[in-house]
Amino acid sequence: MKNDFLLFHRPFISDEEIDEIVDTVRSGWLSMGPKTIRFENEFNKYIGAKKSVAVSSWTAAGHLTLDAFGVKAGDEVIVPTMTFPATAEIVCYFGAKPVIVDVDEDTLNISLKEIEKAITPKTKAIIPVHYGGQPCDLDEIHEIAKKHNIKVLEDAAHSLPATYKGKKIGTISDVTCFSFYATKTLSTGEGGMICTNDEELAERCIIMRLHGINRDAWKRYTESGSWYYEVVAPGYKYNFTDLQASLGLPQLKKVDLMWESRRKIAAKYTEALKDLDTIELHTVKPDRESSWHLYPIRLHLEKLTKNRAQIINELRRKNVGVGVHFMPVHQHLYYNETFNLSDKDYPVASAVFPRLMSLPIYPGMTDANVDKVIDVLTDTLNKFKK
């Protein structure tokens, strides 16, 4: 990588995380242990949920949640097409059907109208994805869910921290799952968290994250632990580790500071780019606060001489890395062929996708980095303007 290449993302790691990792390695306790429990407790306090359960990824968190919901073969779970495929794949793990629906044009969040249309007697749950960090229409989603007796699992992989009508994401639905993957707003390399107000559900997830061993399995190797344990269900190997918690604990302390930094970058982009007629900016609704995990823009391709791939190549040539979030799930080979899906059933996502790109937005960016993105993007769009 060239030195002056601006990466699309870089985690915000300081000496505190490095010292904590060294401390963990020296302690000899590398897998799940006291630091994992401390991270869970502190995360739970930060969010204000009743219970938080740390696991190996969002995908593991979602899988355990659907297991706790009792999803089984033949059930249906509604998911938006504008997401990372993990949101849909966890439904397939059960032999259940991911019912993939279109999104709203303005926010790219799941469409209420499409949810209503997709509900059948087999529908067990809805997984609204807070695209880019902006919360979905949760009041309306809960109204629909209540009416049809359906569970809600919020995919909050992008939305730490975010609020909806003043309430923190993580406190609102049956379950909210966060991701701590390398590019996320709090990173432990890999990792995830299940936040819930349902203690029984949390209990099931705690057991199932570690082979189905009854409670506090990780303590069996401590001084006070017992060698004896029982397996009460065929669980999974989805536990978090103290090495991950060593990154998570210091990251959690600065989660608001990192958010503030992203918020400022977003404001600067919006101010600098709002009058460019070759792009459209993402809509942010007034009653919610985004985490600003992503800063998506849409190209007005009809006003440009190049397509998105060519524009991304030009930005890269000028040392600016950008991303694309996401290729809609219904276009991925497996989902497309298995469920016989067609672009015409997803008019919004199919039309927006070829125009989408995400600009770099992370706390380690300097003012000069942000200016560089603005200048390079503006020059490139002007150069390719019809």
Ligand X SMILES: Cc1ncc(COP(=O)(O)O)c(C=O)c1O
Task: Tell me which residues touch ligand X (CB under 6 A).
Answer: 57-59, 83-84, 86-87, 129, 155, 157-158, 179, 181, 192
Q: Is 236 helix (H, G, I), strand (E, B) or coil?
A: coil
State how far the Cα of 46 lies from the Cα of 249, in Å rounded to an integer: 12
Closest to ligand X by CB, 29 or 353: 353
CA distance 88 to 98: 6
Radius of gyration of the chain (CA): 21
The one-letter amino acid code at 74 reads G
Query: CA dist 237 to 94, 176, 291, Å?
Result: 17, 20, 30
Q: How far is the CB of 261 from ligand X (least distance, A)?
A: 20
Tell me the two tokens of residue 83. 């997401």
| Residue with the CB atom nearest ligand X in the bound state | 58
Q: 66-76 burial, b for 16+ CB within 10 Å, e for fewer?
A: bbbbebeeebb
Question: Shortest Cβ distance from residue 271 to ligand X (Å)?
Answer: 27
Contact in structure between 289 and 266 (CB atoms under 8 Å): no
Q: Which is nearer to ligand X, 129 or 279 (CB)?
A: 129
Of 157 and 206, which has the nearer Cβ to ligand X? 157
The minimum distance between CB 144 and ligand X, in angstroms, equals: 21
Residue whose tokens read 């849409």: 298
Please report how close the Cβ of residue 191 comes to ligand X at its closest, in angstroms: 7
How many residues are present in the chain? 386
Beta carbon nearer to ligand X, 255 or 301: 255
Q: What is each CA distance from 57 to 34, 267, 373, 382, in whole angstroms?
A: 19, 30, 31, 41
Beta strands in the chain (DSSP E): 51-55, 76-80, 97-101, 123-126, 151-155, 163-164, 167-168, 175-179, 192-196, 279-281, 288-289, 295-299, 356-359
| Smallest distance from ligand X to CB 302, Å | 29
Between CA 226 and CA 319 the distance in angstroms is 56
Q: Which CB, 235 or 273, lies closer to ligand X?
A: 235
CB of 177 to ligand X, least distance (A): 8
Q: Which of residues 158 and 262 has its CB atom nearest to ligand X in the complex?
A: 158
The beta-strand segments (E) located in 189-265 are: 192-196
Buried b (16+ CB within 10 A) or exposed e, 99-111: bbbbbbeebbbbb
Separation of alpha carbons 381 and 386, rounded Å: 10
CB of 366 to ligand X, least distance (A): 26
Q: Which is nearer to ligand X, 58 or 269 (CB)?
A: 58
In the complex, the smallest distance separating the C-beta of residue 231 from ligand X, rounded to whole angstroms, is 25
Catalytic sites, residue numbers: 184
How many angstroms separate the CA atoms of 182 and 129, rounded? 19
